[in-house]
Amino acid sequence: MTATQAFVIILVTAVCTLITRLVPFVLFGGKKEMPKAVNYLGTILPPAIMATLVVYCLKGADLFSATHGIPEFAATLLTALLHFWKRNVLLSIAAGTFCYMFLVQMV
């Protein structure tokens, strides 16, 4: 890949990202009322996405291996508890990731 091709790819990616970030403000900005469907999706999608991610992360946990899935479940529990306690997504994800990596590497 040449430098020109890399630049064009980065430019197209940046423009597409900008457009997807800008469209909601153009469509729903100002004093316009949000459609009911958009409000519904805004309330139902975050928990659905989180549940899907938890299932995806735990699908590879082998209960019959030497660790019996303990690192996966311990990190998931830590992440959930920290999030309910501190309400800080970045902190809970970082702590859960650190806990999982520590348990997998050291235990």
Which has the closest alpha carbon to 59: 50, 48, 69? 69
The pLDDT of residue 38 is 87
| pLDDT of residue 7 exceeding 90 | yes
For residue 57, with 0-12 CB atoms within 10 Å meaning exposed, 13-18 middle and 19 or more buried, which class applies?
A: middle
Q: Are 61 and 73 within 8 A, CB to CB?
A: yes
Instruction: Give the pLDDT band (50/70/90) at residue 86.
Output: very high
Q: What is the pLDDT of residue 82?
A: 95
